[in-house]
Copies of this chain bind each other. A is one copy, B any other.
């Protein structure tokens, strides 16, 4: 499930960062971290709960939100707002290409994409704007191939 090099896998960085922040190792948190690591794209809290209910250990909704919140504070995951009712979360990889999202407004599927030209446009722009920019989020809405057919 996990295709990173062993030495800088996201799970390991997450565990290390959590430990450095004074956290103990909790079973629920480890389970969530492992699930997030195995995902290619962003999940909602409910999707995480459902994914864990069958497979691995069950984790309560409240814990999932608490864990996601802490992971976000530590910049290990990022929120993705897709305009759907629920917020999505995905892991942040330091050495990996930054990506954004495509959302099909008909079926709700969310897919990642990345584009160099877009990133450099954002970078240039960030310096001309009355805001010290720390992050950016881009979402393209439309119909996916299945729904447009």
Contact = CB atoms under 8 A, between A and B. Distances in A.
Contacts of A136: 138-141
A130 B117 contact: no
B125 A143 contact: no
A23 interface: no
B115 A121 contact: yes
Contact of A130 (B83, B111, B138, B141): B111
A130 B115 contact: no
Contacts of A81: 81-83, 139
25 contacts: A79-B83, A81-B81, A81-B83, A83-B137, A102-B129, A102-B130, A102-B133, A113-B129, A117-B125, A118-B121, A122-B140, A129-B140, A131-B140, A131-B142, A131-B143, A131-B145, A132-B142, A132-B143, A132-B144, A133-B141, A134-B141, A135-B140, A135-B141, A136-B138, A137-B139
